[in-house]
Amino acid sequence: MANPDFKKVIFKDALLQWPKLNATYRFNSAIRQSEQCAPSAQGAAWSCGFLVTAEEAKAIWQDLQAHYRDCQSRNSKMPPFSTVFGMKKQDNGTVIFSAKKAAMSKSGQPNKEPSILAGDLTPLADKAIWTGSVGTARCIAFPSVDPQGNGGISLLLDAIQVTKAVYGQDDNSDFTPVAMQTEVKGDAAPQDDDPFGLPPVHTPQAAPPQPVSVSLDDEIPF
């Protein structure tokens, strides 16, 4: 029998935010950003965010809040519902729901990585997609309590079908390939040689400049 505390949630045709699916990552508090790490590292996980409209976010919030309270009815020790962990409201009213999957279980065993599929449901060949990709995600919602004792819903990343993949470009993307010109200097013929076989032209040597006498009372010309 399925565990009623685990609820399937579908984000359909969502704009993906900060997908970290090609490897496991963890948050480095010293530099305030995520960094790629080994699956065995503390906090290592796969993760992805899903951008939805304000209307969609409201419906998802209400559904997850109801799920928490249903779980709470079976466990009276759970604290009051506080939030959906990983949810962030944007300035324009849209909302990002973030889901992740830890690389290691609480017992120290490796977890199976989320299924990342292409549009035709075959495994996605290159999973290093960027923000702006689009896909449908299946997540598992379950009740949890944060270190501060706040109760809420966490989202476990289960699978993503990527329908539009956006990839980064290298640092040479602003340039267009062209044929490179080269010039060789060193053993070339003297510059006074005429390529048409004419005799060299001799220019009379200018007379050496005469010294100029400048007194301290003259105006300096610079």
Tell whether 221 is covered by a domain.
no
What pLDDT score was predicted for residue 194? Answer: 44
Determine the Cα angle at 65 with ends 77 and 73, to 5°: 35
What's the structural domain count of the chain?
Answer: 1
Tell whether 144 is covered by a domain.
yes
- Residue 79, Cα to own-chain centre: how many angstroms? 35
- Whether the pTM exceeds 0.85: the reply is no
Tell whether 182 is covered by a domain.
no
Query: Shortest CA distance to 81 belongs to which of 98, 62, 100, 96?
Result: 62
Q: Is the pLDDT of residue 1 over 80?
A: no
What's the domain range around 147? 7-164
Tell whether 151 is covered by a domain.
yes
Instruction: Report which DSSP code applies to 8.
Output: E
Tell whether 1 is covered by a domain.
no
pLDDT above 90 coverage of the chain, percent: 73
Tell whether 150 is covered by a domain.
yes
Higher pLDDT, 202 or 10: 10
Per-residue pLDDT tens for 63-86? 999 999 999 999 999 999 999 999
Report yes or no: 104 and 40 within 8 Å, Cβ to Cβ: yes
Per-residue pLDDT tens for 157-200? 999 999 999 998 655 555 666 676 666 666 544 444 444 344 44
Q: How confident is the model at residue 87 (pLDDT cuts 50, 70, 90)?
A: very high
What pLDDT score was predicted for residue 202? Answer: 47
What pLDDT score was predicted for residue 27? Answer: 92
Q: How confident is the model at residue 2 (pLDDT cuts 50, 70, 90)?
A: confident
Tell whether 40 is covered by a domain.
yes
Q: Can you give the CATH number for the domain in which 113 is found?
A: 2.40.50.140
Per-residue pLDDT tens for 190-218? 444 444 344 444 444 544 444 433 333 33
Tell whether 176 is covered by a domain.
no
Torsion of Cα atoms, 132 then 133 then 135 then 141, to 10°: -60
